[in-house]
């Protein structure tokens, strides 16, 4: 950061403080991770200078020969990584990837069906405060109150009643495997499109430790960070490309357009302009890293760590939604601990542990308060922490949650957290 220090010392100090915070903190937000130094370098590199509206070989700007190479590399690697026929690496985020899919497959007012936000879904799966709930007729399915798992009897009955044009599977705070095969059966029965949003488990899917949506879903979206451990961004994939069935034709030739063409057009120019070539370059690195054997070991360890942590919490009488986890996510209902998710999040942050407050199924509190917290293991697994550290971290969390108003307790935990973090540095080069 020598240039930043010289040119803008004020911002340098801010960035330095963030670097120190990340080093000194146990990052347990399920949607966060630490990229490799190579990805950091690419994300802040020379490709940021180049505008490249359009797609490789079909740009609206000159001088795109090398950014075309980078984007094609990212596309080819992504196709290989997930075993898909089509991939678009341009969406700036998972939400924008989802919007592009909706723009392609749906018309405003069409009915969609996704997992209720408070039951582990995502804003873009039909929430009333989001474009997905405002532009489309949104129906929500839920988890079973006893099991905490998706209620497929309800999924089928709602599908038969409302005949959604698209069913969305996946979520933001769902700790179990997404059962793509069961969603496929329902979608087939009513003739609906099936979309998988694998933003959270995509790295686990790539590594083979979570079921793949590719054989079952018409279209797949994801972010490129979280368990995939790349830069923040979005992607769209299809296992098989095919002609659209809703009457979109090429105006000059009159041929039926491929769905891939429609998706590409929905991303650009439909939804965004110039792609972020520095981020696409960083995505290419991330996809390459995810193909390595070490990544498969890493992904399995993410899940193993989450299982250890969930079991520790269960033994300490915490209510773990669905009774455990199959993924990187542990969703905790703190109702029996006499503390809200918001209060727990604040106390834990003071102790150097970052989590996020989260609604739990059938939550009686508002989204701003919540009854639960969401804990994730991708970032601490990147630091090479294992089962012993998971047990320590669970103990830290329990100590803070059960004594959240005691500053001495919090400071004591904070010093132990700092000691643990010092033993597992994120990057070799640090301001410490």
**Structure tokens belonging to residue 264:** 């590409």
- The full DSSP string for 164-177 is -SEEEE--SS--S-
Catalytic residue IDs: 51, 53, 197, 223, 226, 232
ω before 269 within 30° of 0 (cis)? yes
- 3-class secondary structure, 318: coil
Q: Among candidates 154, 165, 169, which has minimal Cα distance to 109? A: 165
C-beta of residue 63 within 8 angstroms of C-beta of residue 202? no
- Strand-pair partners of 78: none
Give the Cα separation of 349 and 352 in Å (integer).
5
Q: Among candidates 212, 159, 363, which has minimal Cα distance to 151? A: 159
CA 394 to chain CA centroid, nearest Å? 23
> What size, in residues, is the chain?
432
Give the Cα separation of 85 and 98 in Å (integer).
19
Q: DSSP character for 29?
A: -
């Amino acid at each position: 950061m020598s240039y930043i220090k010289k040119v803008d010392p004020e911002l340098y100090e801010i960035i330095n403080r963030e670097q120190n915070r990340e080093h000194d903190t146990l990052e347990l937000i399920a949607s966060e991770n630490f990229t490799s130094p190579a990805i950091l370098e690419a994300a802040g590199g020379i490709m940021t200078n180049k505008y490249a509206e359009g797609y490789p070989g079909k740009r609206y700007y000159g001088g795109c020969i090398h950014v075309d190479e980078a984007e094609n590399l990212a596309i080819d690697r992504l196709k290989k990584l997930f075993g898909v026929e089509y991939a678009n690496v341009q969406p700036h985020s998972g939400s924008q990837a989802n919007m592009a899919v909706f723009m392609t497959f749906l018309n405003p007012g069409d009915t969609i069906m996704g997992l209720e936000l408070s039951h582990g879904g995502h804003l873009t799966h039909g929430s009333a405060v989001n474009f997905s709930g405002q532009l489309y007729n949104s129906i929500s399915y839920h988890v079973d109150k006893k099991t905490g798992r998706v209620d497929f009897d309800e999924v089928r009955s709602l599908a038969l009643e409302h005949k959604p044009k698209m069913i969305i599977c996946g979520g933001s705070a769902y700790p179990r495997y997404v059962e793509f095969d069961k969603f496929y059966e329902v979608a087939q029965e009513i003739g609906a499109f099936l979309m998988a949003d694998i933003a959270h488990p995509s790295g686990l899917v790539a590594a083979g430790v979570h079921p793949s949506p590719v054989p079952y879903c018409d279209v797949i979206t994801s972010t490129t960070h979280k368990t995939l451990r790349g830069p923040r961004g979005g992607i769209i994939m299809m296992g098989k490309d095919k002609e659209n069935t809703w009457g979109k034709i090429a105006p000059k030739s009159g041929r039926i357009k491929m769905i891939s063409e429609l998706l590409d057009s929905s991303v650009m120019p439909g939804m965004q302009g110039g792609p972020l070539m520095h981020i696409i370059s960083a995505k290419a690195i991330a996809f390459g890293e995810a193909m390595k054997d070490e990544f498969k070991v890493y992904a399995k360890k993410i899940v193993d760590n989450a299982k250890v942590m969930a079991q520790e919490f269960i033994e300490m009488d915490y209510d773990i939604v669905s009774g455990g986890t199959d993924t990187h996510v542990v969703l905790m209902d703190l109702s029996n601990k006499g503390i809200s998710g918001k209060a727990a999040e604040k106390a834990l942050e003071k102790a150097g542990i970052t989590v996020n407050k989260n609604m739990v199924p059938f939550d009686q509190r508002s989204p701003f308060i919540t009854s639960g917290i969401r804990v994730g293991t991708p970032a601490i697994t990147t630091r090479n922490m294992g089962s012993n550290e998971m047990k320590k971290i669970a103990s830290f969390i329990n100590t803070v949650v059960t004594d959240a108003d005691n500053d001495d307790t919090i400071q004591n935990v904070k010093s132990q957290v700092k000691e643990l973090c010092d033993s597992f540095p994120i990057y070799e080069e640090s301001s410490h």
